[in-house]
Amino acid sequence: MSSIDLSAVRVFLLDLQERITNAVAEIDGQPFVSDSWQKEPGEMLQGNGITKILEQGNVFERAGCGFSHVRGPRLPSSATQHRPELAGAPFEAMGVSLVFHPRNPYAPTVHMNVRMLAATPVGEAAEPVCWFGGGMDLTPFYGFDEDAVHFHQVCKDTLAPFGEDKYPRFKQWCDEYFFLKHRQEQRGVGGVFFDDFQELGLAQSLTMMQAVGDSFLQAYLPIIKRRKDSIFTERERDFQLYRRGRYVEFNLVWDRGTHFGLQSGGRTESILMSMPPLASWSYQRPSVAGSPEERLYKEFLVRRDWV
């Protein structure tokens, strides 16, 4: 479908999934369960994938990391809002996506995704159009400056070889994307996000996507190791579950990846593995002045330069 070796991209993504889940399983002490799946003939999509899931672990209440490689006859509308000429085009997509929900309220939730999509314009003797997307973002329930600074520094260092403009652009893109418009609230402290990307040429754009995926463990493992054994009480646990509700709201209402997967006939269990195992909502929940919870809202759930 393109000048990129799709089989090599697939090998990279499967290896990335394996490296990440092995490292996280070592920290948790529990293994991931591997669930291989195949779309059945006659379904909207064709393809396969592997969902690796760790639930009720020692460190992670739920940690999901999925690989998927699918083909479909019509590109969903959620993927063509910036490329109307590709509406309804046949497509091929593959990627790795993860969300880790730690048990400890002082340890932040994290999301990472890297993906490639290729589509062939309808009714034209044209070459397939290929682009990349991805990024990572951090969602703390209790804010620590050193965690946010470390996470953003890794993102900045990773993107530096691809142009000094990339980190500030992708950081702003992340802040704007992971924003709950109905709450007028950031989801977390952000990170980097890019989509519909091919401006460096196919080969270099792919290399950049791979670099982002490769940097995930460096960005997150030092943070989870630092916070996983922190002492907490029911108060912190209760606030964690309340804030997880915001995570659910974003993923179901605003996330284009969730919409793409459901609209294209993807595997529901794998698409919704990002949901936390427990969450709660309150009609009213004012923060106590001077509390750590108030500090989260005033100092961390705002757009700011961390590095």
| Number of C-beta neighbours around residue 157 at 10 A | 15
Catalytic residue among 111, 150, 152, 259: 111
The angle formed by the CA atoms of residues 269, 275 and 281, to the nearest 5 degrees, is: 140
Q: Give the type of residue at 121.
A: P
CA dist., res. 98 & res. 257, Å (int): 12
DSSP for 41-110, written as a single string: TTSS-EEEEEEEEEES-SSEEEEEEEEEEEEESS--GGG-TT-GGGTT--EEEEEEEEEEEESSTTSPEE
Torsion sign (Cα): 225, 228, 229, 230: positive
111 is catalytic: yes
Those residues whose C-beta lies under 8 Å from the C-beta of residue 229, and which sit 6 or more positions away, are 104
Q: In one letter, which amino acid is 58?
A: N
Distance, in Å, from the CA atom of 37 to the CA atom of 192, rounded to the nearest integer, reads 30
Residue 135 in contact with residue 113, Cβ under 8 Å? yes
* Separate counts of helices (H) and strands (E) for the chain: 9, 9
Which residues are catalytic, by number? 111
